[in-house]
Structure 1
Amino acid sequence: MLLPDWPIQNRVGALSTTRVGGQSCVPFESFNLGYHVNDKPNDVNANHKQLLEYLPNPAHWLTQVHGADVLVVDKNTPATFWPKADALYTRLRQQPLAIMTADCLPILVCDQQGREVAAIHGGWKPLVKGIIANTLALFQANPKQLYVWFGPAIGPQKFVVGSDVKAQFCELNRTHEDDFVAQSDGKFMANIYAIAKRQLAQLGVTEVFGGDYCTVTQNELFFSYRRDGKTGRMASLIWRN
């Protein structure tokens, strides 16, 4: 498990899983948490059961669709509900929120008092559609009073995109130009960490942590869809203590 290095550990629980230490076999070895990737259901069940040992309660999960919808989790939200959305937000205590990734950017958010938390699936499509702004709009705290941690995602030396992707971000804000490096074949290297950090800064969030991993190159630690195609999924989770 990876634990965020941020100044809120005593009030908020958070972690990102790696691919290590689970029950799944090749090509999902070994701590795959995704049911949708054609892994053996019993192996995925065993991995979820193992993850639960680290959590105060069962997590809420999503059917992620690369959109910009946010699910607000309250006491009436059933834990077995997997709605189509790409972020979760709650003020409940000890209620984990989970996002699955295998190259996309997991974004965990909390206020500095530890009273409200969110988990965001930061793929490039959700980011260009405004998933961060939609999630932060639910927070009662001022953006300057928020902490954000980036879980493991594809690194800036491995995220190849076309000019269409760059154009969509630059239409949002011309400063996104700096988040793309042109290649000789007409494509671009995109820095998804920098894109998300820029969007957070534009919304007033300055306390951002993490962003130190590359899921593609660190194959011993992480699943990577871009690298392997058929692969498992990690999870990043956050909850109020």
Structure 2
Amino acid sequence: MAAALAAQGLDWIVPEWPAPSRVHALSTTRNGAAGHAIDFAASAPRVASGRELLRHFVPTEPVWLRQVHGAAIADLDAAYGGFAADGSVTRTPGTVCAVLTADCLPVLLADRDSRVVAAAHAGWRGLAAGVIEAAVAGLSIDPASVLAWLGPAIGPCVFEVGSEVVAAFCDPDPGAAECFVPSTKMSMNMNTNMSADMKWHADLYALARRKLARAGVSAVYGGDRCTLSESEFFHSYRRDGAGASGRMATMIWLGSQ
């Protein structure tokens, strides 16, 4: 299926994780024929073309969320009215959970017994707000039965943040300090105010793994790509800017058997 999709103008990544055969998942890249895009602010026709093409390879139209960098999870088995949400969960075969990202972290969750799946959009604000914990809770199963996959996000070597981001994680969880390292260029400037003006490199993948572990999920896969550095594969908001960056779609659904 992936080869067929690429041949027709889109490209995707298939998660490498031991999910049951009934669980299907993919994450698109920026690659593909001209005229196709899953999400691109500067070109609505390209988006319409890309999503129409994608629709041939998923069982139903993906449920696109109104993402706001929060922690709300939409239950797609109930009526979803387009309210703000940064994740979704379903037990219904054929219903496609989807999130859009371009540096933020897409997280997929699946039950080892193929009963339920979820997708979450986890930038640093969403991670700090508890979107991963909310998504795990939304599955309503024993966390020990949950598999997680971390899709393409900005890598720790290039994700520079301010002290307010460090505080958002370390104030409630001092152990999260291990997920941050001082920026080299800032640490060399001895005139920098180390408390307010210092810059740090944040590891979204490590923060997500920590959140998952605290939620009881130990089977975590993925988390080894960088959207900013791998320009040939991924869109990046930080690299390309708000008006020029597209977004990738990461999706998960249950098959009928």
TM-score in terms of structure 2 length: 0.86
State the partner residue of 1:71. Answer: 74
* Residue 51 of structure 1: how far off its partner (Å): 1.1
Question: For each residue in 1:117-151, what CA deviation from the matched residue of structure 2 results, as whole angstroms up to 9, or x when unmatched?
Answer: 11000110010001111111122221111000011
CA contact (8 A) 1:161 1:188 kept: yes
Kept in 2, the 8 Å contact 1:17–1:235? The answer is yes
Q: Kindly report which structure 2 residues correspond to 1:159-238, keeping only aligned pairs within 5 A, or say none.
A: 159-183=159-183, 184-185=185-186, 186-229=198-241, 230-238=244-252
Contact 1:23 1:44 in 2 (8 A): no
Cα distance in 2, alignment partners of residues 174 and 73 from structure 1: 35
SS at match of 1:177: helix
Aligned partner letter, 1:70: I
Deviation at 1:178, TM superposition (A): 0.2
State which structure, 1 or 2, has the greater radius of gyration over its C-alpha atoms.
2
Given candidates 11, 17, 32, the residue that maps to 2:22 is 11
Alignment of structure 1 residues 86-97 onto 2, 5 Å: 86-97=86-97
- 1:20 and 1:9 map into 2 onto residues whose CA distance is 28
Unmatched runs of 5 consecutive residues or more in structure 2: 1-11, 187-197
In the TM superposition, structure 1's runs of 4+ consecutive aligned residues that sit over 4 Å from their partners are none
- In the TM superposition, what whole-angstrom CA distance separates every residue of 1:4-42 from its partner, at most 9, and x where no partner exists? 111115120000000011444xxxxxx53226x232x22
**1:215/1:224 contact within 8 Å kept:** yes
Asked if 2 retains the 8 angstrom alpha-carbon contact of 1:60 and 1:82, the reply is no
**Aligned residue pair count:** 230
Which AA in structure 2 matches 1:54?
Answer: F
Q: CA deviation at 1:89?
A: 0.8
Cα deviation for residue 74 of structure 1 reads 1.3
Distance in 2 separating the partners of 1:215 and 1:182: 21
The alpha-carbon deviation at position 63 of structure 1 amounts to: 1.2
1:144-200 CA distance string (max 9 Å, x none): 110000110001101000011001100121111000001242200000000000010
Q: Secondary structure at the match of 1:136?
A: helix
2:37 and 2:49 in contact (8 A); partners too? no
Matched residue, 1:239: 253
The structure 2 residue matched to 1:54, chosen from 54, 57, 71, is 57
TM-score normalised per structure 1: 0.92
SS in 2 for 1:93: coil
Runs (5+) with no aligned partner, structure 1:
25-30
Residue 190 (structure 2) aligns with:
none
Contact 1:160 1:188 in 2 (8 A): yes
- Whether the 8 Å contact between 1:68 and 1:126 is mirrored in structure 2 is yes
Hey, what's the Cα distance between the residues in 2 that align with 1:124 and 1:164?
Answer: 11
